[in-house]
Amino acid sequence: MGKIIVATKNVGKVRDFAYLLAGKGIEVTSLLDYKDIPDVVEDGETFADNARKKAEEIAERLQIPVIADDSGLIVDALDGRPGVYSARYAGEHKSDEANLLKVLEEMNGVPSEKRTARFFCALAVAIPNKDTIIVEGTCEGMITKEQQGNQGFGYDPIFFIPSKEKTMAQLTKEEKNQISHRANALKKLKELLRNNELLVTRVERL
């Protein structure tokens, strides 16, 4: 079995990746298992910048493959906010509840047809002495006017998916991991690995 580190201390993200990579012969660990590694400063201008930085810095430090994502919510009526600031939108303390309440407050009075939004994920895979792979995935939806559901994490309770007639927080884990931005990015990564012989060689090392 290979081993890969998911460069996050977010328990929800760790669960998502463990589920998405289940049955692939890959042992998934996270930064929760490496308490001495300091947080990587996410100061990039884009999701891809931050994902690359996290993956490369930790892969260089530990000399094993690292997968990192930077993901967040993009709301059209808010000119793309929270965007790359999604995790800290209401402050540096990183409160999911405070973040989504801030979005709801800022969206107060916005009509239903203008509440379009999407979850966005940039996924980076860094392997020591190899080029970093970056893929991106999205999931389209609408911002609700109140929280609905208690599954998932982050902005899931206010992100409504019309095709499912549910918020992300009302979906089962199986449903979420068929349509989520993170799942869509991972699907692209798998396809890239299948179609490129060099990359297949890389993934066999994971």
- Asked if omega into 82 is within 30° of 0 (cis), the reply is yes
DSSP state, residue 164: T
DSSP-based three-state secondary structure for 125: strand
70 is catalytic: yes
- 118-144 b/e (C-beta count within 10 Å ≥ 16 → b): bbbbbbbbbbeeeebbbbbbebebbbb
pLDDT number for residue 45: 92
pTM score of the predicted model: 0.83
DSSP H or E segment with residue 140: strand 133-143
The DSSP output letter for 167 is E
SS3 label, residue 61: helix
Residues in the annotated binding site for substrate: 8-13, 71, 153-156, 176, 181-182
Q: Enter the DSSP assignment of 77.
A: G
Query: In whole angstroms, how far apart are CA 153 and each of 16, 97, 157?
Result: 10, 9, 8
Given the residues 70, 76, 96, 131, select the one marked as catalytic. Answer: 70
Residues 58 and 42: their CA atoms lie apart, in Å, by: 13
Secondary structure element (H or E) that encloses residue 136, with its range: strand 133-143
Q: Which residue ranges make up the annotated binding site?
A: 8-13, 70-71, 153-156, 176, 181-182
The tokens of 77 are what?
Answer: 């009526």
Model pLDDT, residue 195: 57
- Which residues have C-beta within 8 Å of that of residue 109, sequence separation ≥ 6? none
Please state the residue numbers annotated as binding site for Mg(2+).
70
Domains of the chain in sequence order? 2-203 (3.90.950.10)
Q: How far apart are CA 99 and CA 50, in angstroms?
A: 20
| Residue 135, beta-bridge partner list | 123
From first to last of its 206 residues, what are the pLDDT tens digits of the chain? 467 888 888 887 788 778 777 776 777 888 888 888 888 888 899 999 999 999 999 999 988 889 999 999 999 999 999 999 998 999 887 799 999 999 999 999 999 999 999 999 999 999 888 889 999 999 999 999 999 999 888 999 999 999 999 999 999 988 998 899 988 998 888 777 665 544 444 444 43
